[in-house]
Amino acid sequence: MSKGIVYLVGAGPGDPGLMTVKGRDCLRLAEVVVYDYLSNPVFLDDAPAAAERIYVGKSKGRHYAPQDEINALLVEKARAGKIVVRLKGGDPYVFGRGGEEAQYLHRHKIPFEVVPGITAAFAAAAYAGIPLTHRDYTTSLGLVTGHEDPAKKMSSLDWEKLATGVGTLVFYMGMANLRVIAEQLMAHGRAPETPVAIIRWATTPRQETVVATLADVVVKAREAKIKPPAVILVGEVVNLRDELRWFDNRPLFGKRVMVTRAAAQAREFAALLTALGAEAVCCPTIETVAPADWTDLDVAIAGLPRTDYLILTSANAVRFFFARLTELGQGVRALAGVKIVAVGPKTAGAIEERGIYADLMPSDYRAEGVVELLIEKGVKGSRVLYPKANLARDLIPSKLRAAGALVSDPVAYRTIVPEGDGVRIRAMLAAGELDVVTFASSSAIDNFMKMVGDEAPHLLDRVAVASIGPLTTKTALRQGISVAVEPEQATVDDMLAALIAYYQTRP
C-alpha cells in the first residue's frame, strides 16, 4: 500500500478565526486526526465526519499518551496510506514538540508538511492589548518555556541574559514556576517594578488578564486564582494595555449565551454575539423542514400572475418559498407585478439576496404591523399570498379577509422539535454554565419546554432570559418563564442592543 502523508498543523490559540486557511484545508482532507488538548474543540468539526479522531493529549481526567507512542501512531497511520493531520494548539514548532515528531517522520521516510499556527505569545499579547515590541519601549523579544524537559531544572536557563538582555519576555507553561521566574529575574537585575501580565485562555470569551509587577505578581495571581493554561508577559510594554485594550472590554465579553434558533439562523446570530465578546452556545430548539405536501403552495405559485401582494414574515419563509419557486422551474420574473411585503429588515435582507427588493415594510415588525399597513393601503378585492409556517398565527389571513381581501395561506415550511440536546441543555443550566438564554419565537419556547421538561422554568431562573418581542414574552410567561430582556422592536439586532443595555446596569 502506498504511503500516506502527515500534516503537522497548528490550530492557533483558541479563536477559530485564527486558524490558517491552509490548516483548515488540511483538516478537510484528513482521514485521521491525531490531536492534543485543544482550547476550542470546534476545530475538529472541519474534519470529515468519517475521519478517525484520536486524542493523545493531556487534560483533567484523561491520560497523556507518551511521545514515543504518538510518533509510532503517526508512522503507522501514514504507512497505511492515510492522510494524517497532527493537530496541535498554537504552533507545532513553538514548544509543541513538532520538531521531534518531524524528525521521527523523516527517519522513517514518511512524507510530511508543517502548517504554522499563531502561537500563544503573539495571540495572548494582541488580545490583551499588549504589543510585544514597540520602538518606544523595546525592540527585543524572548520566548521561554517555563516548564522545561523534566530532566532539566529552571536553573539551567541563563537568567542574567534573560533578565537584562531582552526587553519583552514571554513564558509559556510557567504558572507552576511563577515564583521562581519572578525571583530569578529580580535576582539577576530586572527591576521589581517591571510590569507583568498573566493571560489565561487567550483569545476565547473566557480570557482573563491579571496585571502586576515582578514584586507582587505571585500574590496577585493567587488572589485572582489564575491557573493554567496561561502565558506570562514581562516587560514595559504591559503598560500599554490600558491604552490598547480592545478584546476583553467589549459589551458582552465573557457572557455565555445560548442560542435556540434553528441552525440556519443560529450561525448568523452566533457571529453577532461573538463580535460583541460573548461565547455563543448553539442549541437549536427548532428545526425547519418542508411541508408534508407541497400541493397548496404549488397551486398558490401557479396563481402568481393574478396575485397582488406576497407577504413574507421570516427568513425561513423566504428560503422555502423561493426554493420551491425554483424547483417548479420559475424564477423571480414570476413575481412581476406582485408587491412584496416584508415583515422587517431581516426578512427584507433575505429577499434582497434573491436579487429583488421588498416593496413594503411596516414600522411595527410584527404580523400586526403588516395587517395595519395593508389595511391602510386598501386591500378590498386584492389577492394576497401568505406562505406561512405550520404553526403561524391566524392573525394575518383572518384580519385581511375581514377587510375584503382574498387570501391564500399555504404552509411553506414546518417547525418541529429537533432530536437530542435536551440532556445537554439541562446539564449546562444545572451546572450554572450559562448567563443568558435567548428566544426568537414562541415555537422556540414551546419546543424548549418539550426538550428540557417540567423543570425548565426553575432552571431558567438562574439565567437572564432574552425574548425577541411581546408575543414571545407572552408565551414565556404562559410557560412560567420570567423574561429579563425584551427589545422595543422585535428584531435580533434590537434584542442584542437590549441585552447590552441590560448588562450595562449590572456590575
DSSP character at residue 360: B
Which tens digit of pLDDT belongs to each residue from 121-180? 999 999 999 999 999 999 999 999 986 544 455 667 899 999 999 999 999 999 999 999
- Length of the chain, please? 507
CA-CA distance, 80 to 422, in Å (whole number)? Answer: 40
Q: Nearest CA to 412 among 284, 316, 286, 307?
A: 316
Burial zone of 84 (CB within 10 Å; 0-12 exposed, 13-18 middle, 19+ buried): buried
What cell was used for 263?
Answer: 441552525
For the entire predicted model, the pTM comes to: 0.77
Domain 289-415 in CATH 3.40.50.1820? The answer is: no
122-244: CATH number: 3.30.950.10
CA-CA distance, 128 to 301, in Å (whole number)? Answer: 55
What cell was used for 326?
Answer: 425554483
Domain 5-118 in CATH 3.20.20.330? The answer is: no
Q: Nearest CA to 124 among 21, 255, 237?
A: 237
- Give the Cβ contact number of residue 295 at 10 Å: 10
Chain Cα centroid distance, residue 66: 32
Active site residues: 36, 58, 173
Which residues, in sequence order, are bridge partners of residue 503?
Answer: none
CA-CA distance, 319 to 500, in Å (whole number)? Answer: 30
Per-residue pLDDT of the chain (507 residues; tens, 9 = 90+): 467 999 999 999 999 899 999 999 999 999 999 999 877 788 998 999 999 999 998 655 556 789 999 999 999 999 999 999 999 999 999 998 999 999 999 999 999 999 999 999 999 999 999 999 999 999 999 999 986 544 455 667 899 999 999 999 999 999 999 999 999 999 999 999 999 999 999 999 889 999 999 999 999 999 999 999 899 999 999 999 999 999 999 999 999 999 999 887 888 899 999 999 999 999 999 999 999 999 999 999 999 999 999 999 999 999 999 999 999 999 889 999 999 999 999 999 999 999 999 999 999 999 999 999 999 999 999 999 999 999 899 999 999 999 999 999 999 999 999 887 899 999 999 999 999 999 999 999 999 999 999 999 999 999 999 999 999 999 999 999 999 999 999 899 999 999 999 999 886
- Per the prediction, the chain carries an average pLDDT of 93
* Domain 256-286+418-504, second-level architecture: 3-Layer(aba) Sandwich (3.40)
Q: Nearest CA to 89 among 16, 6, 171?
A: 16
Cis peptide before 229 (omega within 30 of 0): yes
Domain ranges of the chain: 5-118, 122-244, 256-286+418-504, 289-415
What cell was used for 101?
Answer: 515528531
What cell was used for 424?
Answer: 445537554
Fold match, 256-286+418-504 / 289-415? yes
